Chain A
Amino acid sequence: MSTFIQIILRSLETGSIYALAALGIIIIYRTSYTTNFAQGVVAMFNTFVVTFLFNKFGLPLWLAVIGGILSAILTGFLIDVLILRHTKNVSPVAKQIITLGLIMIVLGLAPIFFGVDPLRLPRLIESGDLGILGASISYNGLFNIALGLAIMTGMFYILQRTKWGLAIRTTASNEYVARLMGVPTKNVTMAAWGVAGVLGVIAGVMTAPMTSVTLNLMDEVQITALVACVLGGFQTFHGPVIGAYIMGIVRNLLLFYVSSVWGGQILYILILIFIVFRPYGLIGKKIVKKV
Protein backbone atom coordinates (compact mmCIF):
# COMPACT_ATOMS: atom_id res chain seq x y z
CA MET A 1 0.00 0.00 0.00
CA SER A 2 2.74 2.35 0.93
CA THR A 3 4.35 1.77 -2.45
CA PHE A 4 1.09 2.72 -4.08
CA ILE A 5 0.93 5.94 -2.10
CA GLN A 6 4.55 6.55 -2.95
CA ILE A 7 3.69 6.24 -6.62
CA ILE A 8 0.71 8.56 -6.29
CA LEU A 9 2.82 11.17 -4.54
CA ARG A 10 5.50 11.08 -7.19
CA SER A 11 2.79 11.18 -9.83
CA LEU A 12 1.39 14.36 -8.37
CA GLU A 13 4.79 15.88 -8.77
CA THR A 14 5.25 14.84 -12.40
CA GLY A 15 1.58 15.61 -12.96
CA SER A 16 2.21 19.17 -11.84
CA ILE A 17 4.93 19.49 -14.42
CA TYR A 18 2.71 18.14 -17.18
CA ALA A 19 -0.15 20.37 -15.99
CA LEU A 20 1.96 23.52 -16.14
CA ALA A 21 3.09 22.63 -19.65
CA ALA A 22 -0.43 21.72 -20.76
CA LEU A 23 -1.78 24.97 -19.37
CA GLY A 24 0.85 26.83 -21.37
CA ILE A 25 -0.26 25.08 -24.53
CA ILE A 26 -3.98 25.55 -24.03
CA ILE A 27 -3.63 29.25 -23.21
CA ILE A 28 -1.83 29.83 -26.52
CA TYR A 29 -4.25 27.56 -28.36
CA ARG A 30 -7.27 29.47 -27.19
CA THR A 31 -5.90 32.99 -27.62
CA SER A 32 -3.62 32.78 -30.64
CA TYR A 33 -5.60 29.96 -32.26
CA THR A 34 -2.53 27.87 -32.80
CA THR A 35 -1.02 24.76 -31.28
CA ASN A 36 2.35 25.77 -29.94
CA PHE A 37 4.54 22.77 -30.69
CA ALA A 38 7.54 24.80 -29.63
CA GLN A 39 6.43 25.19 -26.00
CA GLY A 40 8.82 22.45 -24.87
CA VAL A 41 11.97 23.61 -26.63
CA VAL A 42 11.44 27.23 -25.60
CA ALA A 43 11.08 26.00 -22.02
CA MET A 44 14.28 24.03 -22.48
CA PHE A 45 16.02 27.13 -23.76
CA ASN A 46 14.96 29.20 -20.79
CA THR A 47 15.92 26.42 -18.39
CA PHE A 48 19.38 26.57 -19.93
CA VAL A 49 19.36 30.27 -19.14
CA VAL A 50 18.62 29.45 -15.51
CA THR A 51 21.34 26.82 -15.46
CA PHE A 52 23.86 29.15 -17.00
CA LEU A 53 23.05 31.92 -14.56
CA PHE A 54 23.47 29.44 -11.74
CA ASN A 55 26.52 27.52 -12.96
CA LYS A 56 28.55 29.96 -15.00
CA PHE A 57 27.62 33.21 -13.33
CA GLY A 58 27.30 31.84 -9.84
CA LEU A 59 23.97 33.43 -9.02
CA PRO A 60 21.99 31.91 -6.18
CA LEU A 61 19.39 29.49 -7.45
CA TRP A 62 16.34 31.61 -6.70
CA LEU A 63 17.88 34.56 -8.52
CA ALA A 64 18.76 32.38 -11.48
CA VAL A 65 15.18 31.18 -11.64
CA ILE A 66 13.94 34.75 -11.68
CA GLY A 67 16.39 35.40 -14.49
CA GLY A 68 14.89 32.46 -16.34
CA ILE A 69 11.39 33.78 -15.79
CA LEU A 70 12.37 37.15 -17.19
CA SER A 71 13.98 35.42 -20.13
CA ALA A 72 10.81 33.40 -20.64
CA ILE A 73 8.63 36.49 -20.66
CA LEU A 74 11.00 38.11 -23.11
CA THR A 75 11.10 35.12 -25.48
CA GLY A 76 7.31 34.87 -25.31
CA PHE A 77 6.89 38.53 -26.22
CA LEU A 78 9.46 38.26 -29.00
CA ILE A 79 7.73 35.27 -30.55
CA ASP A 80 4.41 37.03 -30.53
CA VAL A 81 5.60 40.40 -31.74
CA LEU A 82 8.20 39.29 -34.30
CA ILE A 83 6.39 36.35 -35.77
CA LEU A 84 2.79 35.77 -34.81
CA ARG A 85 1.78 39.39 -35.32
CA HIS A 86 2.54 39.01 -39.02
CA THR A 87 0.36 35.99 -39.53
CA LYS A 88 -2.97 37.67 -40.13
CA ASN A 89 -3.46 36.00 -43.50
CA VAL A 90 -1.97 32.69 -42.52
CA SER A 91 -4.11 29.59 -42.14
CA PRO A 92 -4.24 27.78 -38.79
CA VAL A 93 -2.30 24.88 -40.26
CA ALA A 94 0.40 27.23 -41.44
CA LYS A 95 0.57 28.80 -37.99
CA GLN A 96 1.27 25.40 -36.51
CA ILE A 97 4.02 24.92 -39.05
CA ILE A 98 5.48 28.23 -37.94
CA THR A 99 5.76 26.88 -34.41
CA LEU A 100 7.44 23.80 -35.87
CA GLY A 101 9.90 26.08 -37.65
CA LEU A 102 10.41 27.75 -34.30
CA ILE A 103 11.48 24.39 -32.87
CA MET A 104 14.17 24.19 -35.52
CA ILE A 105 15.41 27.67 -34.72
CA VAL A 106 15.60 27.06 -30.98
CA LEU A 107 17.14 23.60 -31.38
CA GLY A 108 19.76 25.12 -33.63
CA LEU A 109 20.49 28.15 -31.46
CA ALA A 110 20.65 26.38 -28.10
CA PRO A 111 23.89 24.48 -28.76
CA ILE A 112 25.48 27.64 -30.10
CA PHE A 113 24.62 29.57 -26.94
CA PHE A 114 24.93 26.85 -24.36
CA GLY A 115 27.24 24.22 -25.79
CA VAL A 116 26.52 20.53 -26.20
CA ASP A 117 27.42 19.11 -22.81
CA PRO A 118 24.65 18.14 -20.40
CA LEU A 119 24.45 20.42 -17.40
CA ARG A 120 23.16 19.86 -13.91
CA LEU A 121 20.56 21.93 -12.13
CA PRO A 122 19.92 21.21 -8.49
CA ARG A 123 16.54 20.85 -6.87
CA LEU A 124 14.85 23.89 -5.48
CA ILE A 125 14.88 22.35 -2.02
CA GLU A 126 18.02 20.34 -1.69
CA SER A 127 17.15 17.60 0.74
CA GLY A 128 14.77 16.32 3.32
CA ASP A 129 11.88 13.93 3.15
CA LEU A 130 8.44 13.83 4.64
CA GLY A 131 6.75 10.61 5.63
CA ILE A 132 3.11 10.22 4.64
CA LEU A 133 1.15 7.06 5.34
CA GLY A 134 4.25 4.91 5.23
CA ALA A 135 5.51 6.49 2.02
CA SER A 136 8.00 9.27 1.76
CA ILE A 137 8.26 12.24 -0.46
CA SER A 138 11.04 14.76 -0.67
CA TYR A 139 10.42 18.31 0.47
CA ASN A 140 11.31 19.32 -3.04
CA GLY A 141 8.59 17.10 -4.42
CA LEU A 142 6.07 18.54 -1.99
CA PHE A 143 7.19 22.00 -2.93
CA ASN A 144 6.75 21.25 -6.61
CA ILE A 145 3.28 19.87 -6.05
CA ALA A 146 2.32 22.84 -3.91
CA LEU A 147 3.85 25.33 -6.32
CA GLY A 148 2.07 23.65 -9.22
CA LEU A 149 -1.27 23.76 -7.45
CA ALA A 150 -0.70 27.34 -6.37
CA ILE A 151 0.10 28.47 -9.88
CA MET A 152 -2.85 26.54 -11.27
CA THR A 153 -5.22 27.99 -8.70
CA GLY A 154 -3.81 31.44 -9.26
CA MET A 155 -4.23 31.17 -13.03
CA PHE A 156 -7.80 29.95 -12.76
CA TYR A 157 -8.60 32.67 -10.26
CA ILE A 158 -7.22 35.25 -12.65
CA LEU A 159 -9.13 33.73 -15.53
CA GLN A 160 -12.46 33.54 -13.77
CA ARG A 161 -12.42 36.50 -11.42
CA THR A 162 -10.39 39.33 -12.83
CA LYS A 163 -10.76 41.80 -15.69
CA TRP A 164 -7.61 40.44 -17.32
CA GLY A 165 -9.00 36.95 -17.14
CA LEU A 166 -12.19 38.13 -18.75
CA ALA A 167 -10.17 39.73 -21.52
CA ILE A 168 -8.38 36.44 -22.10
CA ARG A 169 -11.56 34.41 -22.12
CA THR A 170 -13.26 36.83 -24.47
CA THR A 171 -10.33 36.77 -26.87
CA ALA A 172 -10.29 33.00 -26.61
CA SER A 173 -13.95 32.84 -27.47
CA ASN A 174 -13.94 35.16 -30.46
CA GLU A 175 -11.04 37.46 -31.24
CA TYR A 176 -12.94 39.63 -33.70
CA VAL A 177 -15.82 40.33 -31.38
CA ALA A 178 -13.42 40.87 -28.51
CA ARG A 179 -11.63 43.56 -30.47
CA LEU A 180 -14.93 45.19 -31.39
CA MET A 181 -15.79 45.31 -27.74
CA GLY A 182 -12.61 47.12 -26.91
CA VAL A 183 -10.60 44.23 -25.54
CA PRO A 184 -6.89 44.91 -26.17
CA THR A 185 -6.42 41.62 -27.96
CA LYS A 186 -2.87 42.47 -29.06
CA ASN A 187 -1.86 42.78 -25.43
CA VAL A 188 -3.80 39.68 -24.54
CA THR A 189 -1.94 37.51 -27.01
CA MET A 190 1.37 39.00 -25.97
CA ALA A 191 0.60 38.37 -22.32
CA ALA A 192 -0.52 34.84 -23.15
CA TRP A 193 2.81 34.08 -24.81
CA GLY A 194 4.63 35.54 -21.85
CA VAL A 195 2.61 33.52 -19.39
CA ALA A 196 3.06 30.35 -21.43
CA GLY A 197 6.79 30.95 -21.43
CA VAL A 198 6.84 31.34 -17.67
CA LEU A 199 4.79 28.19 -17.16
CA GLY A 200 7.24 26.42 -19.44
CA VAL A 201 10.37 27.50 -17.63
CA ILE A 202 8.90 26.60 -14.24
CA ALA A 203 8.07 23.17 -15.61
CA GLY A 204 11.62 23.00 -16.91
CA VAL A 205 13.18 23.97 -13.62
CA MET A 206 11.11 21.29 -11.92
CA THR A 207 12.10 18.66 -14.50
CA ALA A 208 15.80 19.44 -14.77
CA PRO A 209 16.92 18.09 -11.36
CA MET A 210 15.40 14.69 -12.20
CA THR A 211 17.64 14.26 -15.22
CA SER A 212 20.12 16.69 -16.74
CA VAL A 213 19.76 19.84 -18.75
CA THR A 214 20.07 18.83 -22.39
CA LEU A 215 18.37 19.61 -25.68
CA ASN A 216 15.92 16.78 -25.04
CA LEU A 217 15.00 18.02 -21.56
CA MET A 218 11.37 18.83 -22.27
CA ASP A 219 10.68 16.38 -25.10
CA GLU A 220 8.69 13.97 -22.99
CA VAL A 221 6.86 16.73 -21.16
CA GLN A 222 5.93 18.35 -24.46
CA ILE A 223 4.41 15.23 -25.98
CA THR A 224 2.61 14.42 -22.74
CA ALA A 225 1.26 17.96 -22.48
CA LEU A 226 -0.10 17.78 -26.03
CA VAL A 227 -1.68 14.39 -25.40
CA ALA A 228 -3.10 15.80 -22.15
CA CYS A 229 -4.84 18.45 -24.23
CA VAL A 230 -6.25 15.71 -26.46
CA LEU A 231 -7.35 13.78 -23.37
CA GLY A 232 -8.86 16.75 -21.64
CA GLY A 233 -10.24 18.40 -24.73
CA PHE A 234 -9.19 21.65 -26.36
CA GLN A 235 -12.39 23.50 -25.53
CA THR A 236 -11.69 24.34 -21.90
CA PHE A 237 -8.76 25.58 -19.84
CA HIS A 238 -9.23 23.06 -17.06
CA GLY A 239 -9.64 19.99 -19.25
CA PRO A 240 -5.97 19.68 -20.24
CA VAL A 241 -4.85 20.35 -16.67
CA ILE A 242 -7.00 17.51 -15.37
CA GLY A 243 -5.80 15.36 -18.24
CA ALA A 244 -2.21 16.14 -17.28
CA TYR A 245 -2.59 15.01 -13.69
CA ILE A 246 -4.36 11.86 -14.82
CA MET A 247 -1.59 11.10 -17.26
CA GLY A 248 1.03 11.66 -14.57
CA ILE A 249 -0.65 9.15 -12.29
CA VAL A 250 -1.43 6.53 -14.93
CA ARG A 251 2.07 6.80 -16.35
CA ASN A 252 3.73 6.02 -13.06
CA LEU A 253 1.29 3.23 -12.35
CA LEU A 254 2.07 1.70 -15.73
CA LEU A 255 5.80 2.13 -15.25
CA PHE A 256 5.74 0.41 -11.89
CA TYR A 257 3.13 -2.28 -12.30
CA VAL A 258 3.26 -3.09 -15.99
CA SER A 259 6.56 -2.22 -17.61
CA SER A 260 9.35 0.01 -16.43
CA VAL A 261 10.58 0.36 -19.98
CA TRP A 262 7.41 0.79 -21.99
CA GLY A 263 5.15 2.49 -19.44
CA GLY A 264 5.17 5.87 -21.11
CA GLN A 265 4.56 4.49 -24.56
CA ILE A 266 1.74 2.25 -23.38
CA LEU A 267 0.12 5.34 -21.92
CA TYR A 268 0.14 7.09 -25.30
CA ILE A 269 -1.34 4.07 -27.02
CA LEU A 270 -4.05 3.77 -24.36
CA ILE A 271 -5.02 7.38 -24.88
CA LEU A 272 -5.15 6.96 -28.64
CA ILE A 273 -7.55 4.07 -28.06
CA PHE A 274 -9.53 6.20 -25.62
CA ILE A 275 -9.99 8.82 -28.32
CA VAL A 276 -11.83 6.29 -30.45
CA PHE A 277 -14.57 6.18 -27.82
CA ARG A 278 -14.53 9.77 -26.65
CA PRO A 279 -13.25 11.81 -29.58
CA TYR A 280 -13.63 15.14 -27.88
CA GLY A 281 -11.78 14.18 -24.74
CA LEU A 282 -12.93 13.75 -21.19
CA ILE A 283 -14.47 17.17 -20.97
CA GLY A 284 -14.58 18.60 -24.45
CA LYS A 285 -17.75 18.77 -26.46
CA LYS A 286 -18.27 18.65 -30.16
CA ILE A 287 -18.15 22.09 -31.74
CA VAL A 288 -20.97 22.67 -34.19
CA LYS A 289 -19.27 24.45 -37.04
CA LYS A 290 -21.04 27.35 -38.70
CA VAL A 291 -21.58 26.63 -42.35
Chain B
Amino acid sequence: MPTYVDPHACNACAGLEQGPLCVYICPNDLMVLNPDSRKGFNQEPGMCSECYACVKLCPEEAIHVRGYADFVPLGASVQPRRVEQGLTWTVRFRDGRELQFTYPSRTTPVGSSDPYKSFTEDPTQDLRNQSLAGESLWLGVDYLPTLQSNP
Protein backbone atom coordinates (compact mmCIF):
# COMPACT_ATOMS: atom_id res chain seq x y z
CA MET B 1 0.00 0.00 0.00
CA PRO B 2 1.80 1.21 2.29
CA THR B 3 0.02 4.36 3.54
CA TYR B 4 -3.75 4.17 3.28
CA VAL B 5 -6.45 6.63 4.16
CA ASP B 6 -9.55 5.94 6.20
CA PRO B 7 -12.34 7.43 4.05
CA HIS B 8 -14.55 8.01 7.09
CA ALA B 9 -11.87 10.08 8.85
CA CYS B 10 -10.40 12.08 5.93
CA ASN B 11 -11.98 15.51 5.45
CA ALA B 12 -9.39 16.72 2.90
CA CYS B 13 -8.16 19.14 5.59
CA ALA B 14 -11.14 21.40 4.94
CA GLY B 15 -10.35 25.00 5.83
CA LEU B 16 -6.58 24.64 6.02
CA GLU B 17 -4.60 27.20 4.05
CA GLN B 18 -1.97 24.75 2.76
CA GLY B 19 -4.68 22.38 1.53
CA PRO B 20 -4.55 18.70 2.47
CA LEU B 21 -1.47 18.30 4.68
CA CYS B 22 -0.55 14.84 3.38
CA VAL B 23 -0.39 16.25 -0.15
CA TYR B 24 1.58 19.23 1.14
CA ILE B 25 4.24 17.27 3.01
CA CYS B 26 4.82 13.99 1.12
CA PRO B 27 8.52 13.96 0.21
CA ASN B 28 7.90 11.72 -2.78
CA ASP B 29 4.76 13.36 -4.24
CA LEU B 30 2.64 10.30 -3.50
CA MET B 31 -0.37 11.58 -1.58
CA VAL B 32 -3.07 13.12 -3.78
CA LEU B 33 -6.77 13.84 -3.55
CA ASN B 34 -9.22 11.75 -5.51
CA PRO B 35 -11.07 14.46 -7.46
CA ASP B 36 -14.40 12.64 -7.19
CA SER B 37 -14.44 11.47 -3.58
CA ARG B 38 -12.28 14.38 -2.27
CA LYS B 39 -10.33 11.92 -0.13
CA GLY B 40 -6.58 11.48 -0.03
CA PHE B 41 -4.84 8.36 -1.38
CA ASN B 42 -1.35 7.06 -2.16
CA GLN B 43 -0.94 7.17 -5.94
CA GLU B 44 2.26 5.08 -6.14
CA PRO B 45 2.59 2.60 -3.25
CA GLY B 46 5.83 1.12 -4.62
CA MET B 47 7.61 4.42 -4.04
CA CYS B 48 6.47 4.88 -0.42
CA SER B 49 9.19 4.51 2.19
CA GLU B 50 6.71 4.44 5.06
CA CYS B 51 8.44 7.58 6.34
CA TYR B 52 5.26 8.54 8.21
CA ALA B 53 5.59 12.26 7.36
CA CYS B 54 1.92 12.34 6.32
CA VAL B 55 0.79 10.08 9.16
CA LYS B 56 2.42 12.37 11.74
CA LEU B 57 0.91 15.50 10.21
CA CYS B 58 -2.66 14.37 9.50
CA PRO B 59 -4.92 16.36 11.86
CA GLU B 60 -7.68 13.75 11.65
CA GLU B 61 -5.37 10.73 12.23
CA ALA B 62 -6.91 9.37 9.06
CA ILE B 63 -3.71 7.91 7.58
CA HIS B 64 -2.39 4.49 8.52
CA VAL B 65 0.25 2.12 7.18
CA ARG B 66 -0.32 -1.44 6.02
CA GLY B 67 3.18 -2.94 5.90
CA TYR B 68 4.82 -3.82 2.59
CA ALA B 69 3.02 -6.76 1.00
CA ASP B 70 6.41 -8.15 -0.09
CA PHE B 71 7.42 -9.20 3.39
CA VAL B 72 5.16 -7.93 6.19
CA PRO B 73 2.51 -10.34 7.54
CA LEU B 74 -0.94 -8.84 8.07
CA GLY B 75 -2.45 -7.75 11.34
CA ALA B 76 0.04 -5.34 12.95
CA SER B 77 0.04 -1.55 13.15
CA VAL B 78 2.32 1.26 14.31
CA GLN B 79 0.54 4.57 14.86
CA PRO B 80 1.93 7.86 16.18
CA ARG B 81 0.11 10.69 17.92
CA ARG B 82 1.68 14.14 18.22
CA VAL B 83 2.02 15.26 21.86
CA GLU B 84 3.73 18.31 23.37
CA GLN B 85 7.18 18.44 21.69
CA GLY B 86 7.13 14.70 21.01
CA LEU B 87 5.26 11.65 19.76
CA THR B 88 3.43 8.79 21.42
CA TRP B 89 3.60 5.56 19.42
CA THR B 90 1.18 2.67 19.73
CA VAL B 91 2.66 -0.61 18.44
CA ARG B 92 0.13 -3.39 17.92
CA PHE B 93 1.49 -6.87 17.22
CA ARG B 94 -0.06 -9.44 14.88
CA ASP B 95 -0.86 -11.56 17.95
CA GLY B 96 -2.69 -8.67 19.64
CA ARG B 97 -0.02 -7.54 22.11
CA GLU B 98 0.27 -3.77 22.40
CA LEU B 99 3.14 -1.52 23.44
CA GLN B 100 3.18 2.23 23.90
CA PHE B 101 6.18 4.55 23.82
CA THR B 102 6.55 8.32 24.18
CA TYR B 103 9.69 10.07 22.93
CA PRO B 104 10.60 13.75 22.75
CA SER B 105 11.17 15.24 19.29
CA ARG B 106 12.45 18.69 20.11
CA THR B 107 13.36 20.91 23.04
CA THR B 108 12.15 24.23 21.63
CA PRO B 109 8.84 25.48 20.25
CA VAL B 110 8.42 25.27 16.47
CA GLY B 111 9.42 28.58 14.92
CA SER B 112 11.60 29.76 17.80
CA SER B 113 15.04 29.38 16.20
CA ASP B 114 17.16 32.53 15.90
CA PRO B 115 19.66 31.66 13.13
CA TYR B 116 22.63 33.95 13.87
CA LYS B 117 22.04 34.84 17.50
CA SER B 118 25.14 36.42 19.13
CA PHE B 119 27.45 35.43 16.23
CA THR B 120 30.62 37.55 16.19
CA GLU B 121 32.29 36.67 12.87
CA ASP B 122 32.55 39.70 10.57
CA PRO B 123 30.98 38.88 7.19
CA THR B 124 33.59 40.99 5.38
CA GLN B 125 36.75 40.68 7.48
CA ASP B 126 36.39 36.97 8.16
CA LEU B 127 35.15 35.87 4.74
CA ARG B 128 38.57 34.64 3.56
CA ASN B 129 39.55 32.72 6.69
CA GLN B 130 38.53 29.14 7.48
CA SER B 131 35.98 29.84 10.23
CA LEU B 132 32.32 29.13 9.67
CA ALA B 133 29.57 31.38 11.02
CA GLY B 134 29.20 31.18 14.77
CA GLU B 135 32.22 28.99 15.42
CA SER B 136 33.72 31.38 17.96
CA LEU B 137 30.61 30.63 19.99
CA TRP B 138 29.81 27.03 19.09
CA LEU B 139 32.95 25.07 18.17
CA GLY B 140 33.62 24.12 21.79
CA VAL B 141 37.39 24.65 21.58
CA ASP B 142 39.35 27.91 21.49
CA TYR B 143 40.85 27.62 18.00
CA LEU B 144 39.84 25.96 14.78
CA PRO B 145 42.41 23.18 14.28
CA THR B 146 44.76 23.19 11.32
CA LEU B 147 47.22 20.47 10.43
CA GLN B 148 50.09 22.73 11.53
CA SER B 149 48.60 23.44 14.95
CA ASN B 150 48.00 19.77 15.62
CA PRO B 151 51.05 17.91 14.33
Q: Do A and B bind each other?
A: no
Q: Which residues of A contact B (CB under 8 A)?
A: none
